[in-house]
């Protein structure tokens, strides 16, 4: 059975580059699932650079901000899937809930993360997920930022439990934890 791998670390720690290198060492088709929405010119440039890094390396890309489980279920067996990143997925879930004028809480996110972890484990190919470690900094000064930190933390815990391997990347150096 192919592994489920979670890669975490701080912003700009080298998580995505490590995940891409890891995925590119696996034979067969590769799918990059991008969760980042186009929001402004600076973010558009970041997305463009990430796309450029994958160009000519055998990647297909699916831009999917919310429906990660459905994306996994639609993949052909043997496809290595790289989801980058869960942190933006949580952001997108929060935004979507706000647009519907609904609350989102840790229990809801935990259920969705558990479903995602099970779908990743059921996929017949390696699944690599990238996320930010957001709990190592200061306590945010407003309720929305604290909720975001808590939701990401809960998601990370649930996915880490289901993952076969867990790496923490710091200063571009990966450390295998699980």
Q: Report pLDDT digits (tens) over 156-176.
A: 999 999 999 999 999 999 999
**Integer Cα distance of 106 and 111 in angstroms:** 9
Write out the DSSP string of 90-158.
HHHHHHHHHHTT----HHHHHHHHHHHHHHHHHSSS-EEEEEE--TTSPPPSSHHHHHHHHHHHHHHHH
| High-pLDDT (> 70) share of the chain, % | 98
- Nearest Cα to Cα of residue 148 among 88, 72, 96, 75: 88
Question: Residue 38 pLDDT > 90, yes or no?
Answer: no
pLDDT tens digits for range 75-84:
999 999 999 9
**Integer Cα distance of 132 and 134 in angstroms:** 6
pLDDT at residue 135 in the model: 83
pLDDT mean over 52-73: 88
pLDDT at residue 122 in the model: 96
Q: Supply the range of the domain harboring residue 103.
A: 4-176
Question: Residue 47 pLDDT > 90, yes or no?
Answer: no
> DSSP secondary-structure letter at 37?
P
List Cβ neighbours of 143 (8 Å cut-off, separation of 6 or more): none
Annotated catalytic residue 123: no
Q: How confident is the model at residue 41 (pLDDT cuts 50, 70, 90)?
A: confident
Residue 136 near residue 86 (C-beta atoms within 8 A): no
pLDDT at residue 57 in the model: 74
- Count of structural domains, the chain: 1
Q: How confident is the model at residue 36 (pLDDT cuts 50, 70, 90)?
A: confident
Question: Residue 29 pLDDT > 90, yes or no?
Answer: yes
- Per-residue tokens: 120: 């990743």
Residue, of 108 and 140, whose pLDDT is higher:
108
- The CATH code of the domain that includes 111 is 3.40.50.300
Please count the other Cβ atoms lying within 10 Å of the Cβ belonging to residue 71.
18
pLDDT at residue 140 in the model: 87
**Integer Cα distance of 36 and 47 in angstroms:** 8
Residue, of 128 and 55, whose pLDDT is higher:
128
The one catalytic residue among 50, 78, 108, 110: 50
Helix axes of 106-122 and 86-99: crossing angle, nearest 10 degrees: 130
**Integer Cα distance of 119 and 141 in angstroms:** 35
Question: Residue 55 pLDDT > 90, yes or no?
Answer: no
Mean pLDDT over each residue of the chain, to the nearest integer: 93
């Amino acid at each position: 059975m192919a592994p489920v791998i979670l890669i975490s670390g701080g912003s700009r720690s080298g998580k995505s580059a490590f995940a891409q290198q890891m995925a590119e060492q696996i034979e067969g088709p590769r799918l990059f699932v991008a969760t980042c929405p186009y929001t402004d010119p600076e973010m558009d440039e970041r997305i463009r650079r990430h796309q450029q890094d994958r160009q000519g390396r055998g990647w297909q890309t699916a831009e999917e901000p919310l429906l990660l489980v459905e994306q996994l279920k639609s993949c052909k067996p043997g496809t290595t899937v790289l989801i980058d990143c869960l942190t933006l997925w949580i952001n997108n879930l929060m935004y979507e809930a706000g647009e519907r004028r609904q609350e989102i809480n840790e229990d809801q996110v935990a259920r969705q993360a558990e479903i995602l972890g099970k779908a990743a484990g059921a996929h017949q190919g390696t699944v690599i997920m990238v996320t930010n470690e957001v709990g190592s900094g200061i306590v945010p000064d407003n309720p929305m930022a604290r909720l975001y930190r808590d939701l990401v933390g809960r998601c990370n815990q649930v996915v880490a439990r289901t993952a076969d391997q867990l790496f923490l990347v710091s200063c571009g150096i990966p450390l295998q934890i699980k």
